[in-house]
Chains A and B, each alone.
Chain A
Amino acid sequence: MTTQRRPRLPRLLVSLMLRGEMREVVLGDLDEEFARALDGGGTMVAARRRYWRQALASIAASWHRSPSAMIPGQQRNARPRLGRVFNGWNSDLRQSVRGLAQTPGFTAIAALSIGIGIGANTAVYNIIRVVLFEPLPVDRPQELALVYWAGPKDGKVRTIQLNSSSYRDPHTHQHYSSNFTYPMYAAIREASSDPRTLFAFNFVQRLNVSTGGGPPVAVPGLLASGNYFEAMGLQTVLGRPFAEADDRLNAPPVVVLSHGFWTRVLGADPGALGRQLRINGAAFEIVGVTKPGYRGLSPGGFFPSTDLTVPISSQPLVMPRWSATPAAGASLFTSDLFWVRIMGRFADGTTGAEGAMTTVLREHYMRLPLADAAQAQHVAVRMLPGARGLDSLRAETERPLLLLGGVVALVLLMACLNLAALILSRGMSRQRDLAIRRALGAGRWRLIRAMMCESVLLTILGGAIGLMLAVWSGPVITRMLTTGLGAGDLDLGADWALVGLAVGISIAAAVLAGLVPAVRLSGSFSTRLTQRGDGAASRQFTSRALIAAQIAVSVPLLVGAILFLRSVHNLSSAPLGFDPSGLVMFRVEPAGSGVRRADPIAAYERLLERAARLPGVSSATLVENPLIGGRTSGTGVSIGGTRARLNMNAVGAGYFETMGIPIVAGRPIGPEDRPGRSPVIVINESAAATYFPGESPLGRRITIGRRDVEIVGVAADSLYSSLRKQAEPAFYDAFGQRAGAMPEIERLTGSSAPLSMHVVLRTAAPAATLERLIPAAMAEIEPDIVVTEIRTQLDQINNSIARERMFTRLLVLFGGFAMLLACIGLYGVTSYAVSRRTAEIGIRLALGAQHGQVLWLVLRQVLVLAVAGVVIGLPLAFAASPAVASMMYGLSPRDWPTLIVSAALVVGVAIAAGWAPARRAARIPVLAALREE
């Protein structure tokens, strides 16, 4: 009966660690003692404790008392079978640890370089996996497809696109659009073989939500047709998803929450089901909560994670500006408003469905006003893979991400080369020692194992560091990458498979490097003993080749770093045309608040007046599209009969003064430019030069939409949406006067003002202070207004080049790191060469060689390596340049000055690394050197 209660783990340990009869008798003794202790009335706890102690002591004793593994022959005779395998490893291990501890510098560099390589690779490839390959968390995601379509190139059908994206076929260059009208969707769906699997949706960037308690919040949402949850195969953890019955015009409005929203905003209260949520002012009933992993249709986070999903029929309630008459839900039936995206599940592939949908869509297109049969022939439906939701189309992120993957792979390669070189040189310096051991009869395998043990130990140490770096820096790098790439906040855990892979690669490299000297040595050993230490030229060559390879790898990294540094410098020194310092701005979300309800213009003016009284504010204004924010508005105009397309921006009074944009002629938009007064605009210098060459545009009228406006001023040019885009012809109109200028917008928004404006403040106060004060100040005026996107103009500019800045930082970091490693390798190899040639140099000096000649003797070798590295590395950099072309600004990725500077830098740094050993060589005392011979 005691058999059952014997401690299993120590038994297992003893079985593993001891061999043969030793195992048998020790286990027998342990068990016997255990049984007797219990029979003698001892407690189980005490008996077990003793079992443990005795087992461990036995293992330790059998290891500790083994004769030294260093004495060949004896071991085998002395103790047949007895723990031989472990015994040997144990002593190898101890020796390796001792050896590594004796050279802490070497160990630290090798482990740290491997660690950085592993950490960087794990972080980057984890993101690549999630962003580029992770499918939607639904059943059989491969069946999902996005439905896009192309119309005739010069179509006469008026199309108003809302929230659309387009896809360009890389071969035919045909553009396909994501958006359909609701009637188009209905027609396609009706003709579909399985209408249940075809659903409609679109995003809403911000929905203003009040929960009853607490201030309102703005969250991203999704409008989806009633079959959305069923077609996607999405479950809820609480309540139910909405269904077809909820997606009717007069059905009571319902909403499904994301798990994140439910926990964050509602405190994961299960009682939330059935409660009311006010979304953009309308009441919705909470019916369900989705599973935690569900982020909407963008697993890569390129679109904001969906917090609220509402039936598409409630669009008039939540997005009234998409329809002229909200109550009627007109946009559902409007035939020129393209606001519906379509996605579906196609178990049998998309080819057949594509043709069928094209036929349906052509028929439907013919019935549109102004369309004809010839035009309808150009209509074609195109299915795009939807397994990764909308991220399937984020082709532009692919290239920078893969580039980054290449960069970190180079870093790992660099670390492996470095490790290999270090281990190789270490192996060489231990040749004598190994040769002696071999001569004394140590087995070949034994020596190889001893060498490899050290390599593997180093890599495991490096792997541990890498793991720590990955865990610690992972979130940092992830945030850097995702903001740089325009993805949202991804919650990435460590990917252990990736960590394992990276560690595996490093171990393989280390083992290979450890093998080279070990195998060579263990072959013939007698000659080695008679030689002075080492010196076979071929081995010298191997380690020199490794150094050259390291230099070659660091060249493209360095070139990239310099390219990006210059590019970002060009971007940030581009003349803006306005003064960005001291500007703080924020967006006021009007939907559902007084800004929309009553007199929007008066409401904005009240908000602005309050904002101007914030501490340190010298002027305040409103703007439709803040500068360098990636957004533009534009419209077709008629200038003296010629049609033109101009950028436009609706602004408030004091805009030019606040932004620091000089007015070169006439007057700015002022407080007098109110609705009802005659509409005026200010044009920029580009527009003046293009459309009024050689004459004054002041007092001239242009036609925007249906109405004439007067040009009252000319402003200096300034950049609009991006640092990369030169100033284009543009006009500024008064935000209160836009009514009538844009009939479509007016009809869609149902308002005479652009609905969401940004407040811009010029202030001396720190942005952090204002950030705290702004929401409260705005709430004083409009209690349920939502303030979002508080930031400084400088932050906004920096964010607009986040990708470039991220690459710059990473490349400078990795390029510098690679260079440093190459230098360490170079220094080591050169020092070693000098120490080997001490006698030779002594003779040269004794025979009258000048110090300069000796210096050159050593540096020449360094130069050969550096030049070899550059010659290999430059073509690499050249070949990689197209990948970064789109991110360059003001220079070509094959910028010769950059390449030349990089090459010079590499050679210069290499000489610096070789300088110390070279000088040491030149200063060798002649007598001492000769004595060494």
Chain B
Amino acid sequence: MRTHLGEFEQLLLMALGHLGDDGSGGELREFIERRTGRAVSPGAIYTAMQRLENRDFVSSAFGEPTPQRGGKRKKLYRLRPAGLRALQEMQAVLARMGRGLDPKLSPR
């Protein structure tokens, strides 16, 4: 099982960590947009989350349909232990790679 996580996947997992249990796709998107300042489409969120789910990093469930969503259900995600581990590993890798670069990396 590969543990590699792409940048976007890391962002998603971290956002899910922030949101706690049962973060919806829309909340994930908004969170990432707010923190990173870049536009993300719902399609991109769900496609990537699907991939993470296939790798057992997250689990998903459907919420109740609401009138605001035109009667459509929400998809809710939960971070799974494997996902958390993978995220931790990636963070460790990034930290190792960045060691000694602090003066250059820290924002001015």
A65 to B44 Cα, complex, angstroms:
8
Q: Does B103 contact A (CB under 8 A)?
A: no
Q: Does B108 contact A (CB under 8 A)?
A: no
Q: Known contacts being A33-B26, A79-B50, is A28 close to B43, with CB within 8 Å?
A: no
Q: Which of B59-90 contact A (CB under 8 A)?
A: 62, 66, 68-70, 72-75
Which one, A25, A36, A62, contacts B25 given CB within 8 A? A25
Which one, A3, A35, A58, A79, contacts B44 given CB within 8 A? A58
* Binary CB contact string for chain B from 91 to 103 against chain A (1 if under 8 A, 0 otherwise): 0000000000000
A172 to B68 Cα, complex, angstroms:
84
Q: Known contacts being A33-B26, A54-B41, A57-B41, is A28 close to B74, with CB within 8 Å?
A: yes
Q: Does A374 contact B (CB under 8 A)?
A: no
Q: Does B11 contact A (CB under 8 A)?
A: no
Docked-complex contact A32 and B68, CB < 8 angstroms: yes
* Total count of chain B residues near the partner, CB < 8 A: 24
* Residues of chain B within 8 A of A30, CB atoms compared: 42
A18 to B41 Cα, complex, angstroms:
14
Q: Does B31 contact A (CB under 8 A)?
A: no
Q: Does A78 contact B (CB under 8 A)?
A: yes
Q: Does A771 contact B (CB under 8 A)?
A: no
* Residues of chain A within 8 A of B45, CB atoms compared: 29
A513 to chain B, nearest CB (A): 37
Q: Known contacts being A29-B25, A32-B68, A33-B26, is A62 close to B73, with CB within 8 Å?
A: no
* Binary CB contact string for chain B from 25 to 58 against chain A (1 if under 8 A, 0 otherwise): 1100100000000010111111110110010000
* Residues of chain A within 8 A of B68, CB atoms compared: 31-32, 35-36
Kindly report which residue of chain B lies nearest to residue A56, judged by CB atoms. Answer: B41
* Residues of chain B within 8 A of A33, CB atoms compared: 26, 42
B10 to chain A, nearest CB (A): 15
Docked-complex contact B42 and A29, CB < 8 angstroms: yes
* Residues of chain B within 8 A of A144, CB atoms compared: none
Which one, A28, A36, A57, A78, contacts B73 given CB within 8 A? A28
A91 to B68 Cα, complex, angstroms:
36
Which one, B41, B51, B72, contacts A28 given CB within 8 A? B72
B99 to chain A, nearest CB (A): 32
Which one, A35, A54, A77, contacts B42 given CB within 8 A? A54
Q: Known contacts being A62-B46, A62-B47, is A27 close to B41, with CB within 8 Å?
A: no
Docked-complex contact B46 and A25, CB < 8 angstroms: yes
A22 to B39 Cα, complex, angstroms:
19
A37 to chain B, nearest CB (A): 12
Which one, A6, A31, A57, contacts B43 given CB within 8 A? A57
Q: Does A60 contact B (CB under 8 A)?
A: yes
Q: Does A924 contact B (CB under 8 A)?
A: no
* Residues of chain A within 8 A of B29, CB atoms compared: 29
* Residues of chain A within 8 A of B26, CB atoms compared: 28-29, 32-33
* Residues of chain A within 8 A of B75, CB atoms compared: 21, 25
A699 to B58 Cα, complex, angstroms:
122
- How many chain A residues sit at the interface, stated as a range, is 20 to 34
Docked-complex contact A27 and B70, CB < 8 angstroms: yes
A49 to chain B, nearest CB (A): 12
B87 to chain A, nearest CB (A): 19
Docked-complex contact A3 and B46, CB < 8 angstroms: no
* Residues of chain A within 8 A of B48, CB atoms compared: 65
Q: Does A61 contact B (CB under 8 A)?
A: yes
Which one, B50, B70, B74, contacts A82 given CB within 8 A? B50
A35 to B72 Cα, complex, angstroms:
13
Q: Which of A19-58 contact B (CB under 8 A)?
A: 21-22, 24-33, 35-36, 53-55, 57-58
Docked-complex contact A31 and B69, CB < 8 angstroms: yes
A174 to B97 Cα, complex, angstroms:
104
* Residues of chain B within 8 A of A518, CB atoms compared: none
Q: Does A507 contact B (CB under 8 A)?
A: no
A54 to B50 Cα, complex, angstroms:
18
A764 to B46 Cα, complex, angstroms:
84
Q: Known contacts being A57-B41, A78-B54, is A28 close to B46, with CB within 8 Å?
A: no
A25 to B69 Cα, complex, angstroms:
9
Q: Give the interface centre of B26, B43, B50 by most chain A CB atoms within 10 Å.
A: B43
Docked-complex contact B42 and A24, CB < 8 angstroms: no
* Residues of chain A within 8 A of B43, CB atoms compared: 18, 22, 26, 57-62
* Residues of chain A within 8 A of B72, CB atoms compared: 24-25, 27-28, 31
A22 to B73 Cα, complex, angstroms:
11
A623 to chain B, nearest CB (A): 82
Docked-complex contact A3 and B70, CB < 8 angstroms: yes
* Residues of chain B within 8 A of A78, CB atoms compared: 51, 54
A18 to B42 Cα, complex, angstroms:
12
A58 to B44 Cα, complex, angstroms:
6
A867 to chain B, nearest CB (A): 60
B90 to chain A, nearest CB (A): 19
B84 to chain A, nearest CB (A): 22
A24 to B42 Cα, complex, angstroms:
11
Docked-complex contact B25 and A61, CB < 8 angstroms: no
Docked-complex contact A25 and B44, CB < 8 angstroms: no
* Residues of chain B within 8 A of A54, CB atoms compared: 39, 41-42
* Residues of chain A within 8 A of B74, CB atoms compared: 25, 28
A77 to B51 Cα, complex, angstroms:
11
* Residues of chain B within 8 A of A24, CB atoms compared: 72-73
Q: Can you list 13 A-B pairs with a CB-CB distance of less than 8 A?
A: A25-B72, A26-B46, A28-B26, A29-B42, A32-B66, A32-B69, A33-B26, A35-B68, A54-B42, A58-B42, A58-B44, A78-B54, A79-B54
Give the 5 A-B CB pairs with smallest separation, nearest first.
A58-B43, A28-B72, A57-B41, A61-B44, A29-B42
